[in-house]
Chains A and B, each alone.
Chain A
Amino acid sequence: MIIHHPLLGPRDAAEFTVLGDASLIERPDPQSADAEDRFYDYVYLRDNPAGLHRELWYHEQGDRSWLVVTRNTLTHEVVGVELARDVALAKRTGKRARTRKGGSA
């Protein structure tokens, strides 16, 4: 798989390690009343879809940035790559992150 890094261009997936579902960016509020249930969901349960999946990749052998990669789990096709930082900031401000389209299985 080739990951089209928003800053570095096409990189071999072997340079990355995978953390998993990109919803891990959204850590629940530990102060909320139902924090225990929400953390159980957050830590242990997964959608695990067959098809498009947004997931966190860490460029360990590169610039050590965290990326949100949108990838098809049936074909390994990478359809979008964003900087996880942009995604997290966009969530806070309500704007959409810049996406770099394209890639190959």
Chain B
Amino acid sequence: MKYSALRIFTEALGGNKGWKPVWREPEPKARYDVVIIGGGGHGLSTAYYLAKEFGITNVAVLEKGWLGSGNIGRNTTIIRSNYLLPGNEPFYELSMKLWEGLEQDFNYNAMVSQRGIINLFHSDSQRDAYVRRGNAMLMAGADAELLDTEGVRRLCPFLDFDNARFPIRGGLQQKRGGTARHDAVAWGYARGADSRGVDLIQNCEVTGFDIANGVCKGVVTSRGKIAANKVAVCVAGSSSRVMAAAGMRLPIESHVLQAFVSEGLKPVIPGVITFGAGHFYISQSDKGGLVFGGDIDGYNTYAQRGNLPVVEDVCEGGMAIMPMIGRARLLRMWGGVMDMSMDGSPFIDRTHIDGLYFNGGWCYGGFKATPASGYCYAHLIARDHPHPVATELRLDRFKTGRMIDEKGAGAQPNLH
């Protein structure tokens, strides 16, 4: 069923009785060409691009809970491609380009809104760093503009420009950045994959792998064994737990990131704004809530909830750049479990076990990467060599000394 304005009109005339479920609920088959573990944003987009771009449709997506029940439904919905390093920036720019055509591509309203993102800077040295970052973005084909204080003031007059400690000297703007409706991204990919023949199997937990002589031949699940030529793990947040079943230790720690939304307000914040002297980022949803977040809590955890010290820290960051939000009441806060990698960058790679592929380590930047992650993972699974923009996202990069350390924080995952 193709969605369109005409369709809404004609369905309305028929009492809206013609709408069908968006995807099937199939029983798992005994064998697939590709089994994807994890029905979140990345798993669903992998299935979608496998079917659409690479012609592999005998695919199952196995999901422990319900589709999109993990971090695709828990993030702050920001999309951007303002990275610095050559191993990262072309990948995120591919993602940005896929975002721009996404809704037409999968015929679903993901509410992609290119309302722009501004990274504020507060000192001369930080300005230099952002000039460098902006140039790196331009070289990768992304857009970047440097704003001075007046340029930022024109867009966001409510900021605390003359803050005694962190005066706002300007910002690096990416106008093509913005936000998207996170759940709709998962649903759109799910619908697109399902309509091309992919089986989306919910309430099906993978409990082990069928590995013999260094070859992965399938998975053991709570709904029986499923054989597969290729098994693609895509479970960021739980990567260490799942890959432990395959006997692998990963360069990953699991941490909790909290996110917050205020009561609904009239439009006040034009795009996405990030604080350069602390860790705070904020946007306003179409419903009016201020959506914001900051640092991870800093200790290993698999609990999808954080603690109060970080709540205080995030709110202090908000008050430091826009004191007006002190008047808004916090409506909800929640936590999601992040794969924090040792250099702050993700992995899309084969493993040393034939037929077993790994996608994870997204830290807390996985949402914006959803389209490119799926596209590049599907490319890797279908062709067995990495997509040109994802050649550096390797699992063995710490062994070979090819880290992609955007922050320069080293092997200290709670600082990325």
Hey, which bits of chain A sit against chain B, CB under 8 A?
Answer: 1, 12-14, 17-18, 20-21, 40-41, 43-50, 53, 55, 71, 73-76
* Bound: A44/B361 CA distance, A: 13
Contact of B303 among A12, A48, A55, A76 (CB under 8 A): A76
Contact across chains for A18 and B414 when beta carbons are under 8 A apart: yes
B253 close to A48 (CB less than 8 A): yes
B249 touching A47 by the CB < 8 A rule?
Answer: yes
Given A21-B300, A74-B301, output 13 extra A-B contacts at Cβ < 8 Å: A17-B298, A18-B299, A18-B414, A20-B253, A44-B251, A46-B240, A47-B244, A48-B252, A50-B302, A73-B254, A73-B303, A74-B302, A76-B307
Contact (Cβ within 8 A) A55 B299: yes
**CB of A91, distance to nearest CB on chain B (Å):** 21
Q: Is B240 within 8 A of A43, CB to CB? A: no
Cα distance A17–B310 in the bound complex, in angstroms: 12
29 cross-chain CB contacts under 8 A = A1-B307, A20-B412, A20-B413, A21-B300, A40-B398, A40-B399, A43-B342, A43-B398, A44-B251, A44-B342, A44-B399, A44-B411, A46-B252, A46-B253, A47-B249, A48-B253, A48-B300, A49-B240, A50-B238, A50-B254, A55-B299, A55-B300, A71-B299, A73-B300, A73-B303, A74-B303, A75-B303, A76-B301, A76-B307
Cα of A20 to Cα of B298 in the assembled complex, Å? 9
- B interface bracket (residues with beta carbon within 8 Å of A): 20 to 34
B309 in the interface (beta carbon within 8 A):
yes
A73 contacts B251, CB within 8 Å? no
Tell me the bound Cα distance from A74 to B342 in angstroms.
Answer: 22
Contact with A along B389-406 (1 / 0, CB 8 A): 000000000110000000
Please name the 7 residue pairs, one residue from A and one from B, whose CB atoms are nearest each other, closest first. A48-B240, A14-B309, A44-B398, A44-B251, A45-B249, A50-B302, A18-B299
Q: How far is the CB of A10 from chain B (nearest CB, A)?
A: 15
Q: Is B250's CB within 8 Å of the partner chain A?
A: yes
| B24 within 8 Å of A (CB atoms) | no
Check: B332 CB closer than 8 A to any chain A CB. Answer: no
Query: What residues on B are CB-neighbors of A41 within 8 Å?
Result: 249
Q: Residues of B contacting A53 with CB < 8 Å? A: 300
Confirm or deny: B407 has a beta carbon within 8 angstroms of a beta carbon on chain A: no
Assembly CA distance A95 to B302 (angstroms): 32
Please, which residues of chain A bring their CB within 8 A of the CB of B29?
Answer: none
B241 in the interface (beta carbon within 8 A): yes
Closest to A74 in B: B302
**Residues of chain B lying within 8 A (CB to CB) of residue A45:** 249-251
A86 to B238, CA, bound (A): 33
A48 touches B399 (CB 8 A): no
Interfacial chain A residues near B241, Cβ < 8 Å: 48, 50
The distance in angstroms between the C-alpha atoms of A17 and B412, with both chains bound, is: 12
Report the minimal beta-carbon distance from A69 to chain B, rounded to whole angstroms. 9
| Chain A neighbourhood of B412, CB < 8 A | 20
A55 to B300, CA, bound (A): 9
Within 8 A of A (CB), among B288-329: 298-303, 307, 309
Contact A46 B301 (CB under 8 A): no
Q: Are A48 and B298 closer than 8 Å at their CB atoms?
A: no
| Chain B hits for A17, CB < 8 A | 298
